[in-house]
Amino acid sequence: MDLAGKIILLTGGSAGIGREIALQLKAKGAEVALTGRNRERLAAMEAEGFETISADLSDAAGVDALLAAWGEREIDILLNNAGQLVDHDFRKGTVDPDAADACIYANLNAPIRLTAGLMEPLKSRPQAAIVNVTSGLAIAPAARQPVYCATKAGLRFYSLALREQLKDTNIRVIEALPPVVDTQMNDGNPMKKMPADECARQIVAAIEKDRDEANIGMTKALRVVESLSPMLAKSMTLRF
């Protein structure tokens, strides 16, 4: 897909991987509108020339407000990048079920609801795409992040099924599976981290090349191990 002139809605585009994706898409001539929750970060992206939409996607009201703000506008690419990480480790003590609910909604329900809300305008375009950013942990989970892993696995299977539904349409469904990336969300993660700009570059390349799946960085190796032995793949990640 040639990205020049494409109209893109990018969720979670004011920081981390999303910010780098936004910058790289803009450099290729795309028209990017991005969402975020932090007003200062949104203002910084506005200063870079982006259209921004303040949106909290952790509940239905926030998603519906975003869809209302988008209105009847055209759209070529829906890029579901926004995500939350929640501490849900009973080995550390009690956990917050409300925080888990917000994480589940932001990571899984919101992309599904946005896809449903924008399906018709996507279908009306000559060429369109839905890009869902999941995680290497959608393949094999980490013990300390069960809620996050569950949401990403859920979004992975949603993407696989949606791709089959839309295989004879103008809409390509692309899944990007990053490894651990050097972002604020992973500040406490001791594992080796991929630079956010390189992760974004590979996601953008997957869109340009019309690939169904982008296994990024260490996720490539994990996919190989998982194809040979799912149990071995799980044993590799569960200890983290």
Task: List beta partners, residue 131.
Answer: 79, 174
From the list 51, 114, 50, the residue with the least C-alpha distance to 82 is 114
Confidence of residue 152 (pLDDT cuts 50, 70, 90): very high
CB of 56 within 8 A of CB of 82? Answer: no
H helices of 48-127, in order, are 60-70, 97-104, 110-123
d(CA 18, CA 198): 12
Domain boundaries along the sequence of the chain = 7-238
Among 3.40.605.10, 3.40.50.410, 3.40.1830.10, 3.40.50.720, what is the CATH number of 7-238? 3.40.50.720
% of residues, the chain, pLDDT over 90: 83
From the list 213, 95, 232, 226, the residue with the least C-alpha distance to 162 is 213
Catalytic residue among 148, 162, 216, 237: 148
Query: Locate tokens 């569960």: which residue?
Result: 238
d(CA 24, CA 19): 9
Position 95 pLDDT exceeds 60: yes
CB of 79 within 8 A of CB of 8? Answer: yes
Taking the model in full, what pTM does it have?
A: 0.93
105 catalytic, yes or no?
A: no
Start-to-end C-alpha separation, the chain:
37
d(CA 5, CA 95): 45
CB of 146 within 8 A of CB of 91? Answer: no
Query: CA geometry: angle at 185 spanning 177 and 163, to 5°?
Result: 25
Which residues lie below 8 Å from residue 63, measured CB to CB, with a gap of 6+? 55, 57, 109, 110, 113, 114, 117
Tens digit of pLDDT for each residue in 133-149? 999 999 999 998 999 99
Q: How many residues are there in the chain?
A: 240
Tens digit of pLDDT for each residue in 196-225? 999 999 999 999 999 999 999 888 888 888
Phi, psi angle pair for 201, to nearest 5°: -60, -40
